[in-house]
Structure 1
Amino acid sequence: MARKEKQRLDKILAHIGFGTRKEIKKLVKEKRVKVNEEIVNDPGLHVWTGHDRIEVDEEEVQYREFIYLMMNKPQGVISATEDRYDEVVIDLLEPEHALFQPFPVGRLDKDTEGLLLLTNDGQLAHQLLSPKKHVSKTYYATIRGVVSEEDVELFKQGVVLDDGYQTLPGELKILKSGPESEIELTIYEGKFHQVKRMFEAVGKKVTYLKRLSMGPLTLDDDLEPGEYRELTDDEVKQLKSPELY
């Protein structure tokens, strides 16, 4: 639900994709905009979001301040809003979602795929990324080398990375052990290249990495790499739950 506050009509309509201020001024001049069933003559009219009824061409406009997107990030795409050389996750969005100017919450390496949350809700992003909050992240990975119960115990204690940092305890689950192992790993922090560096610390190499979940949010199985969808109201509520933090 939109937060109730007073804003300029042209700002609201621009925010949800009805064009530039100049284009919205033209809509108003053509008497195509109504507020509370009254034709508007002033594009700068202040209206109450979440309360006043706004219509354009007889269709009610649903205002919202924030957008929340779940993406299955594909390999080869950068977790950023812009990059001079590579495609970024924002490039994968439809115009009606891109206009909200969402940004990725955290990052996945260029060669990593899986769950990525995008939003323009800075407060929620801060909560999810705060090192003090220890929000869980679960990954599936294929590993070059035999992953053993000894590794499970080492990860449970926290491993020492190449820069001397000892990670928080992680939960390592072996799905298949062999020359090419398969695992799931849950960690509670987000150091640079952390999963890859944790396995390097025990003499093994990550050959494929996919994020499956972040906090209460689990990757939708129906999303192919590069696809995304809006979060449900229930998923947003879970992400904002005080119990998570």
Structure 2
Amino acid sequence: MKQSMRLDKLLAHTGYGSRSEIKALVKHGAVRLNGKPVKDSGVQVNPERDQVTVNGETVQYREFIYLMLNKPQGVISATEDARERTVLDLLDEQYSHFAPFPVGRLDKDTEGLLLLTNDGKLAHQLLSPRKHVPKTYFAEVEGAVTEEDGESFREGVTLDDGYVTMPGRLTILRQGDPAAGIVSKIELTIMEGKFHQVKRMFQAVGKRVVFLKRISMGPLLLDEYLLPGEYRELTQEELLQLQRAGIGENA
């Protein structure tokens, strides 16, 4: 059961304005608690038991949001930046008061699945190195990606800084032909998220990634109907699967 909270905090959290704006709403009799006009914006309310209305509209309280974004190229995985456009700039204003943030990051030139939420506990669980939540990427790679590369990834490759990766699973969708200018198409599943990891893993075997897109994170699959830059809220089933992945021992 949710604990009680100040009315002005609840209304601010559900997008009805700043505390001063909410005080003005209360002063003008626009806010009612269980059918009665509110006189004090600091009164305690219980979001589950009490009914709050503003100008006759019932306030629907929720603590967390969970958004699946198909991140486009050219935006950065950050909450704010003085020079670059961020993933939060893609969201409608109705989500801004929740203060969501990206769970992990994708490089500026990488597309694909990015989870945005304000649920810090779930984000921590999904990103924890101890959880080993798998992430799968689709990539186009210059050169002929071979089964020998797949064996190298299964054993773990040494990156340019000396770090040895955990085993990765490589699936070759199309083997490239450098002489004909045909790139390889692959899927790679990794269990960690080092800086530029997929690109650096291919560098370690003498190849170069020219296009990269994340298509899954744990049980969460990128919605194929989301165009780059589009997003939607997770379904209840998707959220439950993610929560299980975050707490599972073998996630």
Shorter-chain TM-score bucket reads: over 0.9
**Residue 9 of structure 1, aligned match among 7, 10, 17:** 7
| Deviation string, structure 1 residues 140-187 (Cα, Å, up to 9, x no partner) | 000000001111111111111111111111110000002310000000
CA distance in 1, matches of 2:119, 2:131: 17
- Which deviates more from structure 2 when the two are superposed, residues 20-29 or residues 100-109? 20-29
Other structure's SS at 1:49 match? coil
**Deviation of 1:240 (Å):** 1.0
Are the aligned partners of 1:4 and 1:51 in contact in 2 as well (CA < 8 Å)? no
| Deviation string, structure 1 residues 77-99 (Cα, Å, up to 9, x no partner) | 00001111110111111111122
CA distance in 2, matches of 1:44, 1:53: 16
**Deviation of 1:112 (Å):** 0.2
| Aligned residue number for residue 70 of structure 1 | 68
CA distance in 1, matches of 2:16, 2:69: 25
CA distance in 1, matches of 2:121, 2:234: 17
Normalising by structure 2, we get a TM-score of 0.94
User: Which structure 1 segments of 5+ residues have no match?
Assistant: none
**Residue 122 of structure 1, aligned match among 120, 123, 129:** 120
CA distance in 1, matches of 2:41, 2:176: 67
- Which deviates more from structure 2 when the two are superposed, residues 163-172 or residues 32-41? 32-41
* Structure 1 ranges of 4+ moved more than 4 A: none
| Aligned residue number for residue 41 of structure 2 | 43
Q: Between the two proteins, what is the percent identity of the paired residues?
A: 63
CA distance in 2, matches of 1:51, 1:172: 51
CA distance in 1, matches of 2:83, 2:28: 43
| Aligned residue number for residue 180 of structure 2 | none
Are the aligned partners of 1:113 and 1:211 in contact in 2 as well (CA < 8 Å)? yes
- Which deviates more from structure 2 when the two are superposed, residues 216-225 or residues 206-215? 216-225
CA distance in 1, matches of 2:170, 2:32: 57
Other structure's SS at 1:99 match? helix
Matched positions, count: 243
**Deviation of 1:118 (Å):** 0.7
| Aligned residue number for residue 144 of structure 1 | 142
Q: What is the alpha-carbon root mean square deviation over aligned residues?
A: 1.1
Amino acid in structure 2 at the alignment position of 1:8: R
CA distance in 1, matches of 2:184, 2:48: 52
| Aligned residue number for residue 86 of structure 1 | 84
**Residue 192 of structure 1, aligned match among 195, 206, 222:** 195
**Residue 108 of structure 1, aligned match among 100, 103, 106:** 106
- Which deviates more from structure 2 when the two are superposed, residues 31-40 or residues 68-77? 31-40
Q: Does 1:234 align with 2:237?
A: yes
**Deviation of 1:19 (Å):** 0.7
